[in-house]
Structure 1
Amino acid sequence: MKDTDDILAVPLWINGHAFLTMAPAFFDVRDPRSGLIRRRTPLCGAGQAATAVDAATAALPAWRSLAVGERTRLLATLADALAGYGSHFAGLIAEESGQEDAAAAAEVEAALRLLRAADAATLASDGGVVAIVCDDRAPLAGLLQRAVPTLLAGSTVVAKPSPKAPSAAVALAELMAQSGFPAGAFNVLHGDLEAIEGLCAAPALGRLLFAGEPELAKRVAEIAGRHGRHLAD
């Protein structure tokens, strides 16, 4: 097995580009099916969280200024791009979450349906800068279930995927950049509980959302409560 020093770290995605950081620690992303370490997730803290929130804050005026129809068009363009890389995304999901190939492919199809169904009926309230914390149960569709109505409403996003399954969120962010989304509209912060603490401590954060298992949602809500924040439904 390769030494972990030879395994590449997953980059953050901030302000429209891959963002490398010297995190104090890393999480080994292990393929549950083979036991092999595939990549490493930087475990970020308050500094990186603040950088991601700042990027989302700077992007907010331009993103809000777009008509709902234009934001819908961008989401549809993203769906077309994702469809072209469907097998790649399914491979990432299966490799990091341990899902069977068919289940991973089905998750990509669910993600496509979410993007293509985006319209005024899915509009959420504009929460300014919104953080979305996800577990590894559905690293793509779970994230988009929260992100699609949030983006459509004119909010910008900082996604915090599970350190166990970080790659789908970064690949999605890269596709967003290629699809014409303005820099900073969608950012990806990596880490665990300290990253969530950093997000909750950022003054410019508007709302905190969660996608995943109820037990982890309770832990996220406890962190939010310590910072005087509420985990939104």
Structure 2
Amino acid sequence: MDTIGHFIGGKRVAGQSGRTADVFNPATGEASSTVALANGADLQAAVDAAREAQPKWAATNPQRRARVFFKFVELINTHMDELAALLSSEHGKTIEDSKGDIVRGMEVAEFVCGIPHLQKGEFTEGAGPGIDMYSMRQPLGIGAGITPFNFPAMIPMWMFAPAIAAGNAFILKPSERDPSVPMRLAELMMEAGLPAGILNVINGDKEAVDGILDHPDISGVSFVGSTPIARYVYGRAANNGKRVQTFGGAKNHMIVMPDADMAKAADALMGAGYGSAGERCMAISVAVPVGEETADRLVAALAPKIESLKIGPYTDPATDMGPVVTKAAQERINALVEKGIEQGAELVIDGRGFKLQGYENGYFVGGTLFDRVTPDMDIYREEIFGPVLSVVRAKTYEDAIDLPMKHEYGNGVAIFTRDGDAARDFASRINVGMVGINVPIPTPLAYHSFGGWKASSFGDLNQHGTDSIKFWTRTKTVTSRWPSGIKDGAEFSMPTMK
């Protein structure tokens, strides 16, 4: 089997640790390659390459930095089929879903083509007698990103595109479960004209993560993963004086009002709950119909759609939903389904034990539906990260809105209704970071920011949009006065603008 190493100083290199991990095809359960797991020497080589290259890149005018991303976008479009097949082979999601993963990342690369405008500072002429004042947004230096398995193209681009466009060098630590696409993206950035050393990729596990969090030359860290690890990364990186943003878990609710178009609501839940086998931080995992009649209609609409889901490998173009990423993920999902039954939820559709001829060892979980779930159950409280949808029946709109308001996570939420007053009230009151009105997965476009509230996010600046440029730069403010405006004699009191 091939061994995937690291990408340091503009080229692929072998790992120095001697440690590796298997990379699996989730549809077959077979190892397709191995990946090197970085140690301190590998990380130091990436830091050395970044430190050498970054000053010259930061001094490159923003128009020239933007041109790299114009070319990068062109190359992604050229290599779309190749990238999607590579992504699907290691993650398991369908080809069309993989293309969506790539495109949503590419849109951030398109956004940062506007870096000449995005990185502009401010200027005030005549701020005081003979005094001008201006600000500059300057890069942090070396940034790092630690990304999850579920979006191996999108989330790395969400991180490295704004960081690099703003003049930083960047070290990416992708998931060791599906490392091939991040490596390929680094090669395409080089082909687009990025200088060697500005984007480095080190593959690895906790040893690599801790090395990034502790390294004194890395100034900023971005992370996406589970909430416990997000807390850990935030605390350790911040304690080491780094700028840090971390994004954690989610339990996204979709409220279905009695006046909603039930067919459209059911279709929305199918895509949002079962797309990518539920392995999305913005997946809808809780449906909240208001009123018993609404709940009965919704469950009746969902059940046949779930039973007819086409589940299979990414190589089948008719597939709606592929496998989950690992055997461990499959086992955890099945265990939570069993827990839901034990705690009294009504199992309407059972996806456990799904087997596909020719792919008996694949990590498949069929679409699963629970009804009459209550907030004290594990399947409601925990992020399952699989194709499991829970229906929590609410008596009133106030009862419905109370559920996401009280949940520890606050990533995404949606409401389906024809009532503009209800929608406006919902958007205003809900304490969740991203809100959909008749939109089941309200992931913002690249020029708005992405980020949740409560235990879904730590740090005060979000991903992409203008927040990303603020995160990867720091403001320097200059106050200048030339000799014609300087009075003779020393001034000992606090300067003011009297």
TM-score by length of 1: 0.90
Describe the superposition over 1:65-117 as per-residue Cα deviations: whole angstroms up to 9, x where unpaired.
Answer: 11111111101101111111111111121111221222101112212222122
Q: CA deviation at 1:231?
A: 2.7
Q: What stretches of structure 1 move > 4 A for 4+ residues in a row?
A: 121-125, 225-230
Q: CA RMSD in A?
A: 1.9
Distance 1:213 1:15 in 2: 30
The answer as to whether partners of 2:109 and 2:162 remain within 8 angstroms in 1 is no
Alignment of 1:1-233 (within 5 A): 7-118=1-112, 119-120=114-115, 123=119, 126-224=139-237, 227=240, 229=242, 231-232=244-245, 233=459
User: What is residue 424 of structure 2 aligned with on the other side?
Assistant: none
Against the structure 1 CA distance between its residues 115 and 229, is the aligned structure 2 distance closer, same or farther, given a 3 Å change threshold?
Answer: closer
- Runs of 5+ unmatched residues, structure 1: 1-6
Distance 1:196 1:21 in 2: 16
- When structure 1 is superposed on structure 2, of 113-122 and 162-171 the one drifting more is 113-122
The answer as to whether partners of 1:125 and 1:150 remain within 8 angstroms in 2 is no
Distance 2:78 2:226 in 1: 30
Describe the superposition over 1:200-232 as per-residue Cα deviations: whole angstroms up to 9, x where unpaired.
Answer: 232211111113443432343354356454533
**Aligned-partner residue type, residue 46 of structure 1:** G
Q: CA deviation at 1:10?
A: 0.6
Q: CA deviation at 1:25?
A: 1.6
Distance 2:151 2:174 in 1: 10
- When structure 1 is superposed on structure 2, of 134-143 and 93-102 the one drifting more is 93-102
**Aligned-partner residue type, residue 65 of structure 2:** R
Describe the superposition over 1:155-180 as per-residue Cα deviations: whole angstroms up to 9, x where unpaired.
Answer: 11000001001111110111111111
* Larger RCO of the pair (alpha carbons < 8 Å, separation 6+): 1
**Aligned-partner residue type, residue 49 of structure 1:** L
The answer as to whether partners of 2:219 and 2:242 remain within 8 angstroms in 1 is no
Against the structure 1 CA distance between its residues 176 and 48, is the aligned structure 2 distance closer, same or farther, given a 3 Å change threshold?
Answer: same
TM-score by length of 2: 0.44
Q: CA deviation at 1:28?
A: 0.5
Distance 2:171 2:24 in 1: 24
Distance 2:180 2:239 in 1: 29
The answer as to whether partners of 1:157 and 1:186 remain within 8 angstroms in 2 is yes
**Aligned-partner residue type, residue 84 of structure 1:** T
The answer as to whether partners of 1:163 and 1:190 remain within 8 angstroms in 2 is yes
- When structure 1 is superposed on structure 2, of 175-184 and 223-232 the one drifting more is 223-232
Q: Secondary structure at the match of 1:117?
A: helix
Q: Which has the higher strand share?
A: 2
**Aligned-partner residue type, residue 42 of structure 1:** A
Describe the superposition over 1:142-167 as per-residue Cα deviations: whole angstroms up to 9, x where unpaired.
Answer: 11111111111111100000100111
Against the structure 1 CA distance between its residues 208 and 9, is the aligned structure 2 distance closer, same or farther, given a 3 Å change threshold?
Answer: same
- Runs of 5+ unmatched residues, structure 2: 120-136, 246-458, 460-498
